[in-house]
């Protein structure tokens, strides 16, 4: 029997490319835009591109905030992708201060505009970067189980999550020499700042592992 995954449709995000990647990994995909569909999900995916405030407004307008929080509280698998990962945090500093889902305690902060050497660098960060283990992180118990350190993933972002608890950071990448949080995890919840649907075989490994949780 195919695993079933529910992708949250809140009026923002690259839904169909995400859905196609999950289908390639053998999943039956459902797009959910109401509380009942989210509440009945087994594997839930929160995708997203764009601004934090707009993303949270889309969730609130469709009464999806509490169903997503309830899903996480029940210990069911949840994956946030790009903006979806950022919305898992407590608050974002993007264009003011805005409350998130508060599932991963922490703040979403702007990427540095200078390298560690003090040279100017372009933001947003667009392109490929390697994934590296946060000290003490155990990938074998997570959706990164089949990923090797240094494997490249594709990112497009101007902000990143800073977790309050270092144990919630699973992986980081480098941007201008700065370590930037790329994957967060708390129980069955995982957030990927990178786009697994655009990260080739590595991204498909992450999706496939998530479906087995």
With a CB cutoff of 8 Å and minimum separation 6, the contacts of 156 are 49, 82, 124, 125, 126, 195
Question: What's the rounded mean pLDDT across residues 55-70?
Answer: 98
pLDDT band at 12 (very low <50, low <70, confident <90, very high): confident
Tell me which residue of 88, 76, 5, 18 sits closest to 47, measured CA to CA. 18
Q: What is the pLDDT of residue 203?
A: 98
pLDDT band at 1 (very low <50, low <70, confident <90, very high): confident
The residues facing 153 across adjacent strands are 129
Question: What's the rounded mean pLDDT across residues 119-137?
Answer: 96
Can you tell me the distance from the alpha carbon of 94 to that of 116, in angstroms, rounded to the nearest whole number? 22
Q: What is the pLDDT of residue 131?
A: 98
Tens digits of per-residue pLDDT, 157-186? 999 999 999 999 999 999 999 999 999 999
Question: At residue 14, does pLDDT exceed 90?
Answer: no
Over pLDDT 70: what percentage of the chain?
100
Question: What's the rounded mean pLDDT across residues 20-29?
Answer: 98
The H-assigned helical ranges of the chain are 15-24, 35-39, 52-61, 65-73, 83-86, 200-211
Question: At residue 13, does pLDDT exceed 80?
Answer: no
175: helix, coil or strand? strand
Which residues participate in catalysis according to the annotation? 82, 195, 197
Q: What is the pLDDT of residue 41?
A: 97
Question: What's the rounded mean pLDDT across residues 118-144?
Answer: 96
pTM (global) more than 0.85: yes
Tell me which residue of 77, 64, 178, 185 sits closest to 123, measured CA to CA. 178
Q: Domains of the chain (ranges plus CATH)? A: 4-211 (3.40.50.880)
């Amino acid at each position: 029997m195919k695993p079933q995954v529910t992708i949250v449709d809140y009026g923002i995000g690259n839904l169909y490319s995400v859905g196609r990647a999950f289908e390639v990994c053998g999943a039956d995909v459902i797009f959910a835009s109401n509380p009942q569909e989210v509440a009945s999900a087994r594997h839930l995916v929160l995708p997203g591109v764009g601004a934090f405030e707009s993303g949270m407004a889309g969730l609130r307008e469709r009464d999806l905030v509490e169903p997503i929080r309830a899903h996480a509280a029940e210990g069911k698998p949840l994956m946030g992708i790009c903006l979806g990962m950022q919305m898992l945090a407590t608050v974002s500093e993007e264009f003011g201060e805005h409350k998130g889902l508060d599932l991963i305690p922490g703040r979403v902060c702007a990427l540095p505009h200078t390298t560690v050497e003090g040279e100017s660098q372009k933001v947003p960060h667009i392109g490929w970067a390697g994934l590296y283990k946060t000290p003490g992180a155990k990938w074998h118990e997570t959706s990164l189980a089949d990923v090797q350190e240094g494997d490249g993933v594709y990112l497009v972002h101007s902000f990143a999550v800073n977790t309050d608890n270092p144990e919630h950071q699973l992986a980081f990448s480098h941007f201008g020499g700065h370590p930037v949080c790329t994957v967060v995890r708390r129980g069955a919840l995982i957030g990927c700042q990178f786009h697994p649907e655009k990260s080739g075989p590595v991204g498909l490994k992450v999706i496939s592992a998530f479906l087995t949780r």
